[in-house]
Amino acid sequence: QVQLVESGGGLVQAGGSLRVSCAASGRTVSSYTMGWFRQAPGKEREFVAALSWSGGSTSYADSVKGRFTISRDNAKNTVSLQMNSLKPEDTAVYYCASVSNKWKWYGRTDLESPGTYDYWGQGTQVTVSS
């Protein structure tokens, strides 16, 4: 059984930093493409970042490029999202997600689609105050 559990959300002032993490059980993060999405109130879930199974490829939404970094710790079997220079518009529930197919990287369109991912965490709230 695959479980993804996010942690690390909280309240931070604009311009600050926060790191959210996703602990995976039932699968090895180094074998699957992993992604982060977010959903603000009244809005659709949107893509934030993705990391390939090999660790050699990443993809970021234009809105976070240069500010957010996705990474993983193979020993802890976790995937993290380091968020710097946070803005009020980054306020959302952040979700970790995993695809089902091992050792597969996807094109940008597929990476940005929630339908590409089969497993989701429960989400962690990130609030950025102005």
Note the pLDDT tens digit of each residue in 62-75: 999 999 999 999 99
Which tokens hold the place of 123?
């989400």
The Cα–Cα gap between 94 and 20 comes to: 8
The pLDDT, as a whole number, for residue 101 is 93
The Cα–Cα gap between 77 and 82 comes to: 16
Which pLDDT tens digit goes with each residue over 5-44? 999 999 999 999 999 999 999 999 999 999 999 999 999 9
The pLDDT, as a whole number, for residue 96 is 98
Average pLDDT on 45-73 reads 97
Average pLDDT on 85-106 reads 96
Q: Report residue 45's pLDDT band, with 50, 70 and 90 as the boundaries.
A: very high
The pLDDT, as a whole number, for residue 24 is 98
Return the DSSP state at 57.
Answer: -
- Among candidates 87, 79, 84, 89, which has minimal Cα distance to 117? 79
Query: Which amino acid is it at 16?
Result: G
Partner residues linked to 49 by β-bridges = 36, 60
Partner residues linked to 72 by β-bridges = 79
